[in-house]
Amino acid sequence: MRFSQLLFVSLYSLSYPCFGSIEDYYPKKIEPSPSNYGETGILELPNAKFMNSGSMRFTFSSSYPNEYTSLTASPFSWLEATYKYTEIKK
């Protein structure tokens, strides 16, 4: 086998597509989780995901000097509402 053929075969074998799935890295089902303020999202940014319909969540979060309390409900698959209360500690 010539060098060019060997190079072609080795590059072809390295470029063969490898398929992976999110299930390979996260064995449990990934579900929407609350942000710092109780809404579904990451840190302080809400996202387009919702909890399952008929769900309710009550959360506490603290970041001195603020304390956050929230109640989030998802009565329908297309609606998620959050009531937030912020207390500033002195």
pTM exceeding the 0.85 threshold for the entire prediction: no
Give the pLDDT mean for 3-12.
77
What integer best gives the mean pLDDT of the chain? Answer: 80
What DSSP string describes 13-62? HHTS-----GGGT--SPP---B-TTSSBEETTEE-S--PPTTEEEEEEEE
pLDDT beyond 70 at 48:
yes
Q: Would you call 73 exposed, middle or buried from its count of C-beta atoms within 10 A (0-12, 13-18, 19+)?
A: middle
Give the pLDDT mean for 58-66.
87
Per-residue confidence band for 54, with pLDDT thresholds at 50, 70 and 90: very high
